[in-house]
Amino acid sequence: MSECVEFKGDYKEALELRTIAYSNDLIINAIVLKDYYESKELSKLMYISDGVMVIESEKVGERFIFKFAIPKMIGGYAIPNYVRFKTERSVLEIDTSRDIV
């Protein structure tokens, strides 16, 4: 079961969501656009979530560059540094060279 919910920064609502998830053996993963939330709201998301992925995009010339980082992943490996990725025709390609970001 998965459901998408927009986090509006309400701390009480966030704690209720976390309590419901934990009592039902569910996990909370957050996908966040970089600079969308202020640092206080992002801290709340980091606290209630089991995993957090931050996505950033920037326009360079005529093309867009997409990057992601995973600053928190319970039971897995966090990726604190940004990694580039691109999508074409329903395929996700991750650039694994380390000199890119």
* Residue 26, both tokens: 């569910």
Q: Please give the mean pLDDT across all residues of the chain.
A: 83
In this prediction, residue 101 carries a pLDDT of 47
Q: Dump pLDDT digits (tens) for 27-47.
A: 888 888 888 888 888 888 888
Residue among 58, 13, 50, 6 at smallest CA distance from 32: 6
* Residue 77, both tokens: 């490996």
Percent of the chain with pLDDT over 70: 92
Q: Dump pLDDT digits (tens) for 58-81.
A: 888 888 888 999 999 988 889 889
First to last CA, the chain: 35
In this prediction, residue 56 carries a pLDDT of 92
